[in-house]
Structures are given as structure tokens and as C-alpha cells.
Chain A
Amino acid sequence: MAQFAAAAGDAFAPMYEEMKLRGAAGLRTAAWETFAAKGLPNRRVESWHYTDLKAALARPAPLAIARGGVEVARAHDSIRLVVLDGAFRPELSDLAALPRGVTVQPLREALTQGTPGIMALLASDDVRTDDAALSLNTALMQDGVVLRIADGVTIERPIEIAGVLSSEEARSSFTRSLVVLGKGARATIVETAGDLTGVAAQDNQALIVRLAPGAMLDLFTHAAGQGETQTRVMSLVAHLDEGAALSAFSLIEGAGLLRRQMFVRIDGEHARLALQGATLARGRDHVDVTLVVDHAKPNGQSRERFRNILDGSSAGVFQGKTIVRPGAQKTDGVMQSKAVLLSDSATMNNKPELEIFADDVQCGHGATCGRLDKDQLFYLMARGVPRGEAEMLLIEGFANEAFEGFGNEALRSFISARVSHWMSGRAA
């Protein structure tokens, strides 16, 4: 065991030595020790039961470095903050368009200056999990943005944190952004992870969200990597205070191995949470959606709804755990995962868990897996819709179910367009 840990540690150790000099040494060291004690998780680690990160990251690529002269196209209308090759790039970002009540600070700066509020947030129990990928992110975080929205401020236009890799050869990047909403603040945030070249990038990005009482956040996360050889871990760590509401939608377009993990703590009464998303995977893609919803206070509500569309030899994973702590009475939790296998060699693994320590709760989960409903196909075909088109309609409808309740029309149509685009690339 010690040998294994040492081997895993060895590969990342030079990066740790380098990053330790860039501020937050205490935080980094603690996280590094957590990581190095066990190393990268393989499938024997229960929370990584279906994804072998140890094999995928057997040879870590060198850290990404900032480059000039790169243009990043816009996907949708938003106030964009660009994190390119592991560094926040003000000159590529729409800083001037930021409305009043919104402040942006590069994470790198907050770490070197030791900005008190930020350091406290990063050192909080929410972030200090024993998850290996997140610990590694804490130990090696390069840059990102710290976005703060003041009490009572409502932002209409979405603010996008665009994570992009542009390198021609494989690089690792460890980015982290923070989104902090003050009391009663409201906003829509878009988080993107993509790349311009499709090389075997190793991307580890984390978003830390903190919602003060009554704050409301709509979060749309788009994993839009290219190619088939990338390894990407996207973590969300969210903390909801009393009466806060978080709706987080994920659209995951598979590109090699991707793990979307979400850790949400409901730490105030009457908080509401929705975690929803769709996975589109084909080829040899492996997409793992893992979430832990921790109800620590009474009267909370959580809804999880995920749809997996798996083609080729792809594999989908859904692991969802709802925890209800002692005393978190009147919790209302519903989790649902559905999968459609479009080919003979696709695989789906579902593991929805409940861990309940309070008696006056209503919690449930449902999971299904199968192929497209024959009756529905027949219905459409009997009305003259050709088979291919009928399948496409059903799949699009299935994927769009995951975004019900997302109020931003423009982003909704962007999502629909992405699903159609993915479908059109399906081998006939």
C-alpha cells in the first residue's frame, strides 16, 4: 500500500513542489498529504467503483503553460471570463461588461495575497474532502476566478467561466473557481470545459459555490471536450445556507474519460437543490456522474434527474448518494437516473444510494436502463416518421427532460442544438 501511494505521489510530486511556492502552502500541503496517503483511486475505492482514474492518469502530463495569440470562439451570449491553459486571462475576458455588485479576482492573486475570506472558504470542511481528485486540485490549483455577487444583487445576463486548453501536446491543468453569492443575490453562471485541439489533455477543474441565505443560483456546466483520449474531472462543491436555491444543470459530451462529481451540503433550513443533466457518449467514452447530497438541516428539498445516452462502446456511470443527517427532519429527496443504450456494446452502471439517519423524511430514488421504447418508436413510425428520425426525436426528448426547470431560454436552445448536433454525428 505504501509503495502504491509513493508511486502515485512520485508522479505529481514535482508539480506539488512547484505550486507550493505560489501561495496557500498550508492548504496545499494538507491536501497533498491527503492525496499522497492513498494516491489516485482505482476501482477498489468505493466512490470510484466504476472509474479507474489511476490507470487513466498513469502518466501525468506536464503542467499547462500560458500561451499568447490564442482565440477562443464564443458559444453563446454571456459575460465571459476566460481561463486558458490553467491561467485566468483578463485580456480575453469581458471584465468591462461586469455589472455593478459583481467583483472578479484571479484566484492566483487571492492565493498569493492570502485574501482572508477566500482562504477561509477554501479551508472549510466542504472543500476538504478526502476525494483524491479534489485533494489533488487543492494541492496543485494554478488559477481560476473568484466571482463575488453582492447581497441583493440580481444579474440577468449569464456570466461564463470558460475553461479552455489550447496546447498542441498533452498537458495537465488544475483550475479552480469560486462563486460566492451574497444574501438574496441571484445569478446564472455558465461553466465550460473544452479544448481547441483534442489532444490527450488531463484536465482537473473545480468550482466552489457558496450561497448565502436566500441566494439563488442557476448553474449550467458544459463539458465540451474534443477527441477520445482526454481525462477530465470536473468537481462541484456547493454549500447552501438557509432558504438558498441551487439548480445545477450539466450537459456532458463525452471525450474520453470524464468524471463529473458534485458534493452539495444543505446547511440551512428550507434550502432547495436541483441537480440535473444529460450525458452523451459514444466510441470509447467513459462518463461518470457521481454526486453526494448531504442534508444537514431540516426541511430541505433535493431533486436529481440524470439522463444517459450511450452509443458505441461507451460506458455510463451514475452514482448518487443522498445523506440525511440526524435531525434533518422533513427532508424531501427524489433521485432519478435513466439510461438508454443505443448499441450492443454500450454499458451503464447505476448506483443510487440512500443513507438516512432521520425518521420523518420522504426520500426515494429510481433507476432504469434499457433501449428506446419500442411502443414509442412504433407510434411515430406508424405516423410516417422514418425510423432514424423517430429515434432522433425520442432521444432528443429524452435528453431534454434533464433540463426541465431551466429558465434561461437562450441556453435551453443552445443545449437542444448541441444534442441535435451530437445526434447528427451518430453513425447511420
Chain B
Amino acid sequence: MAALKETVSVVESIDVDAYKYGFSTDIESEKAPKGLNEDIVRYISAKKNEPAWLTQWRLDAYKRWLTMTEPNWARVHYPSVDYQDLYYYAAPKSTPGPKSLDDVDPELLRTYEKLGIPLREQEILAGVETRRVAVDAVFDSVSVATTFKEELGRAGVIFCPISEAVQTHPELVKKYLGSVVPVTDNFYATLNSAVFSDGSFVYIPKGVRCPMELSTYFRINEQKTGQFERTLIIADEGSYVSYLEGCTAPKRDENQLHAAVVELVALDDAEIKYSTVQNWYPGDSEGRGGIYNFVTKRGDCRGRNSHISWTQVETGSAITWKYPSCILRGEGSQGEFYSIAVSNGYQQVDSGTKMLHLGKNTKSRIISKGISAGRSQNTYRGQVSAHRKADGARNFTQCDSLLIGQDCGAHTVPYIESKNPSAQFEHEATTSKISEDQLFYAMQRGLPAEEATALIVNGFVRDVLQQLPMEFAVEAQKLISISLEGSVG
């Protein structure tokens, strides 16, 4: 009940425009010239002091990208993006590669403080066990700080900006970069391969259970800037890591592009748990502005009995185009996808997952909860397939949609493809509105409509919230209530 009260008080405290991370930071930044061409690609590569092979890799991707067309199969509509009217690189001006937090621009530190992201490594108070989270903070195109590096280093965990990993661990980057999402994968992934700026790199060595949660916090600040981050996580044999990702952006009237690529590799008996709370600026109540979130996320369960789990809470972005997927290659590997996608206003969400069963006895589970309100459109699009050799593959899929209001839409487009008789696939989907009986029941007991709705919605998404690390779950619960603000008439 406490959480509910908190939810309601948060909802009540908000004005019409509920996005609370909409401020922008006034900080001088260094930008690449506007537009995209080979020189820009070289410029970004030179900025990062990259080896020749990576510069060439980017240039090959750029050339490939020029031959590709933007995908149009998703149920999203937007004016076409002018790729020449964007800045592909923006970095806050400061000493290159700050050695410690003291070198970081105080304006930036204040920004993260306002966002509630701890960049100072907090000491454990005597007798008070707090959970610690290592944070990599990415501001526009660069990583500004990474915490707890030393302590992680003692466990053998590498957690650093990918631009740093290119310098310090080139052999790992070269081996795994693009091995899950190939350069040629799709329009946005190819664009990302050409111009990616920063993101996190994680390597968990054999048999290591990462001693704390790792997290990356993405912030878009500059105007007319695209963010193209690239994250690569490798969990070596028998290791475990839980990784969290958060994101916000200032309120602006223009649409901004965010095209990220995330690659996960799990070797034998390794487990990666990847959680996202996506809270990019969704645009205002008239549908102006907001982030275009075109993201390619894919995990490769390469080893036997490896396990990758995606959990996402999507409340932000004007447009979401995102399908975190699992390639279940290793025998006995498991993939999971838990998703809550909330859309309100004029938001458009087209999200889902792919579970590709290639190996024997692979298992996957998909739980997707879509909530649409306002004039938004919310689509689940997913694929589950069993290869000829995927003996004993199992999948269970449940996608539920909830509609609030009569001007929104909820859609489900699953592709279920089986080439193996011993593969067992089950898929279920429902669409409904908040039941009047439930609402009546709650209101009869004295809850106002808004609070009753929050209660029912929280019940609806409970299966997914349970998968999130605790702090994130509380945050996510609040976010959902805020996103639905104004939807109950």
C-alpha cells in the first residue's frame, strides 16, 4: 500500500506536462560539423583515436548504409528524418578523458545529481547495507564518468566506455564487436556502426559473479544531435552480470534521433540480465518533439546452458522501434523477454522480441504488457522460430494489451515458425480495457478513479516488474503512473 500511496502522490504532484527530466544543461560542447559523409566518420574515429581497422570498419559500414533504405514495415508514422541535418558527434568541452570526478565539469555533475544518478562512489555506512551500482554516464556522444572501476577491476571485471576498451582491450573488442549484430544487419544498425560514439563495454571473466549491478545512464543534451551509442557485454564461461540502462533527454520541439546497438554474448553457463528503463522525452501533449528511438538489441547465447534475459520498461520516446532478441545457439540455452510498454499522448511504440531457437533443448519465455492511452499506438511485434535441429525447443509467449480511452490503438503481430516437431510453442494474447467490475470494486472501497486505475495497472504489469532489480522496479512503477497521468477521464 505504501508504494501505491507514493505512486498516487507522485501523480498528484505533477502538472499537465509530466516529464520531469526535461531540463537542458547549458554547457559548452564540441561538435562535429553538421551532416554525414566519410569525413565525419573519419572525424569521429580520429576523435576517439581509433586503430586503423576500426576506422575502416566504420567506413565500410557507411558505404553499406548509403545503399540501404529506411525500414517501413513497423506500424509507426513520422516525417522522414533528414540525416544531413544532424550532428553526429557532440561532446561537452572539458579536459580529455577526465581522470577522476574532480576533473569533470561541475555543471555535468549537477545534471546527474538532478537526474538522481549517483556518480560519487558512496561509502557503505556502518551497519547500513546499501546496494551499490556502478555507473557509466554517457552524455551526448561521450562517456563522462564511470564509477567503481577499481573495485570491479579487482574482481577482473572490465567496465568502461567502449572508446576506452578499444584502446585498452583491442583484442576483445575486435573479436566481439559486430559478431552479434553484423554491420549489415539493418539500416539503423549499419548507421550506428559507421558513427557510433560511445557506450559501455563489459567483460566478465570466467567464473566471476559480478560483485555489483552495472549500469549505464544515457543523456541526450545537445540540440539537433543524434545519439548513437554502442554497448557490448561479454559474459565468459560460468559468469553472471546484471546490467541496467536508463535514459532521458531535454524537452525540445524538434525530434531527436537515438539509434543504438547493444550486443550481448553469453558463453557456456553464463548469464546476462539486461534491464532497461527507457524514459526518453516522449514529446508534448500535442505530439511535438520527442525522441525517435530506433534501437537494435540482440543477445547471443553462444555457449551451452547460457542464459540471457531482457527486461524493459518503455515509457518514453515519441517513436520506439526496438526488438531485443535472443539467438539461442548453445544447447540448453535460455532466453527471456519481459516488457512493459506504456504509451500516452501521440506516442508510437512498435516493440517486441525475437527468439531464434537454433540449438537443442533451448527455452524461451516472452511476457509482454502493452498499455495504450491518449492517442497513442502500441504494437507488439515478435518472432519465435525453431530451426530444424532445435529438438526439444520450448517457448511460451503471453502478450497482453490494455487500452485506456477510445482514441488509442493496441496491436499484436507475432510470427511463430516451427520446423521441428519436438519444438513446443505456445502463444497467447489478449486485449481488453480496464474492467469496469474491477474499477467499480476498487472505487466502491473508497479509492478515487485515478488511484483505482493505478492499482489495476500495477497488477496488470506485475509479472514484468518482478523481474526488475528492486530499485528499478520502484522507479518503473512510478514512471508508469506518471506516463498514464491524464488518461483517466
A354 sits at the interface (CB 8 A): yes
Tell me whether A353 and B421 are in contact (CB under 8 A). no
Q: A347-B417, A364-B429, A367-B416 are in contact. Are A355 and B409 (CB under 8 A)?
A: yes
Stretch in A104-112, A217-225, A336-344 with 4+ CB within 8 Å of B: A336-344
Is A76 among interface residues, defined by CB-CB distance under 8 A? no
B347 to nearest A CB, angstroms? 15
Q: Which residues of A contact B257 (CB under 8 A)?
A: none
Is A349 part of the binding interface, using a Cβ–Cβ cutoff of 8 Å?
yes
Contacts of A351 in B (CB 8 A): 413-416
B468 to chain A, nearest CB (A): 26
Q: Which residues of chain B are near A148, meaning CB under 8 Å?
A: none
Residue of chain A at shortest CB distance from B404? A359
Contact flags B393-419 to A (C-beta < 8 A → 1, else 0):
000000001011111111111111111
**Do A359 and B408 touch (CB < 8 A)?**
yes
CB-based contact A366/B428 at 8 Å = yes
Judged by a CB distance under 8 angstroms, whether A370 is at the interface is yes
Contacts of B404 in A (CB 8 A): 359
Q: Contact flags (1/0) for A338-378 with B, using CB distance below 8 Å?
A: 01011111111111111111111111111111110000000
Render B417-443 as a binary contact track against A, CB cut-off 8 A, 1 for contact: 111111111111111110000000000
Cβ of A125 within 8 Å of any chain B Cβ, yes or no, is: no
Residue of A at shortest CB range from B411?
A: A355
- Is residue B53 within 8 Å, beta carbon to beta carbon, of the partner chain? no
Q: Contacting A356 at CB < 8 Å: which of B401, B415, B424?
A: B401
Give the distance to chain B from A149, nearest Cβ to Cβ, in Å: 36
Of A348, A356, A359, the most chain B CB neighbours within 10 A belong to A359
Asked whether any CB of chain A lies closer than 8 Å to the CB of B73, the reply is yes
Q: Which of A49, A351, A356, A358 has the most CB of B within 10 A?
A: A356
> Cα distance A344–B421 when bound, in Å?
6
Number of chain A residues whose Cβ lies closer than 8 Å to a Cβ of chain B: 37
What residues of chain A lie closer than 8 Å to B415, measured between beta carbons? 49, 349-351
A156 contacts the other chain (CB 8 A)? no
Question: Is the beta-carbon distance between A342 and B421 smaller than 8 angstroms?
Answer: yes
Q: When the two chains form their complex, are residues A352 and B429 in contact, meaning their CB atoms are under 8 A apart?
A: yes
Please encode chain B, from 39 to 57, with 1 for each CB lying within 8 Å of some chain A CB and 0 for all others.
0000000000000000000
Which residues of B sit under 8 angstroms from A346, Cβ to Cβ? 421
CA distance A354 to B432 in the complex (A): 12
B426–A368 touching, CB < 8 Å: yes
* A350 in contact with B413 (CB, 8 Å): no
Contact A347 B418 (CB under 8 A): yes
Q: Which B residues are CB-close (under 8 A) to A364?
A: 428-431
- The reply to whether A350 and B421 contact each other, CB–CB distance below 8 Å, is no
Question: How many of B's residues come within 8 Å of A, CB to CB?
Answer: 34
Chain B min CB distance to A154 (Å): 37
Contact status A363-B414, CB under 8 Å: no
What residue in chain A is nearest B410 (Cβ atoms)?
Answer: A356
Beta-carbon contact of B432 and A339 below 8 Å: no
What A residues does B409 contact at CB under 8 A? 355-357
Let me know if A71 is at the binding interface, CB within 8 A: no
Chain B residues within 8 Å of A49, by CB: 415
Q: Which residue of A lies closest to B412 (CB)?
A: A354
- Min CB gap B175→A, angstroms: 35
A101 close to chain B: CB less than 8 A:
no
Partner of A368, one of B412, B414, B427: B427
Q: Number of contacts between A and B (CB, 8 Å)?
A: 116
If A341-B418, A356-B403 touch, whether A369 touches B425 (CB-CB below 8 Å) is yes
Whether A343 touches B421, Cβ cut-off 8 Å, given contacts A354-B431, A356-B401, A367-B416, is: yes
Whose C-beta in chain A lies nearest to the C-beta of B427?
A367
Residues on A with C-beta less than 8 A from B421 are 341-344, 346, 370-371
Q: Which residue of chain A lies nearest to B75 when distances are taken between CB atoms in the complex?
A: A355
Q: Among B422, B429, B433, which residue has the most Cβ atoms of chain A within 10 A?
A: B429
Instruction: Tell me the minimal C-beta distance from A323 to chain B in angstroms.
Output: 9
Contacts of B419 in A (CB 8 A): 345, 347
Question: From residue B159, how far is it (CB to closest CB) to chain A in Å?
Answer: 41
A326 within 8 A of B: yes
Residue A46, interface by CB 8 Å: yes
Let me know if A370 and B423 touch, CB within 8 A. Answer: yes
Which B residues lie within 8 Å of A369 (CB)? 416, 418, 423-425
Q: Choose among B410, B418, B432 the residue with the greatest number of A CB atoms under 10 Å from its CB.
A: B418
CB distance from A342 to the nearest CB of B (A): 7
Q: Find out whether the CB atom of B416 lies under 8 angstroms from the CB atom of A46.
A: no
Are B425 and A354 neighbours in the complex by a CB distance under 8 Å? no
Contact A370 B425 (CB under 8 A): yes
Residues of B near A357 (CB, < 8 A) are: 408-409
Task: Give the distance to chain A from B319, nearest Cβ to Cβ, in Å.
Answer: 18
Instruction: Output the nearest chain B residue to A339 by Cβ-Cβ distance.
Output: B418
Q: How far is the CA of A351 from the CA of B421 in the complex (A)?
A: 18
Interface flags for A277-293 (1: CB within 8 Å of B; 0: not) read: 00000000000000000
Q: In whole angstroms, how far apart are the Cα atoms of A360 and B431 in the complex?
A: 9
Residue of B nearest to A363 (CB): B431
For the complex, give the distance between the alpha carbons of A197 and B469 in Å: 66
Alpha-carbon gap, A363 to B429, bound state (A):
8
Once the chains bind, are B416 and A370 in contact (CB under 8 Å)? no
A349 touches B411 (CB 8 A): no
Q: A354-B412, A355-B409, A357-B409 are in contact. Are A366 and B427 (CB under 8 A)?
A: yes
B425–A368 touching, CB < 8 Å: yes
Q: A358-B406, A360-B433, A365-B412 are in contact. Are A352 and B427 (CB under 8 A)?
A: yes
Known: A343-B421, A347-B419, A364-B428. A359 touches B433 (CB 8 A): yes
Q: Let me know if B429 and A359 touch, CB within 8 A.
A: no
Q: Complex: how many Å from CA A370 to CA B431?
A: 25
Q: How far is the CA of A340 from the CA of B420 in the complex (A)?
A: 10
Chain B residue at minimum C-beta to C-beta distance from A49: B415
What is the CA–CA distance of A357 and B419 in the complex, to the nearest angstrom?
34
Interface contact B424-A350, CB-CB below 8 Å: no
Task: Given contact pairs A356-B410, A357-B409, enumerate 7 new A-B contacts (beta carbons under 8 Å).
Answer: A49-B415, A354-B401, A357-B408, A364-B431, A368-B424, A370-B422, A370-B424
**6 A-B contacts, Cβ less than 8 Å apart?**
A351-B413, A351-B414, A352-B412, A352-B429, A356-B410, A366-B428
Q: Which 9 A-B pairs have the closest CB atoms?
A: A341-B421, A359-B403, A350-B416, A370-B424, A364-B430, A354-B412, A367-B427, A371-B421, A363-B431
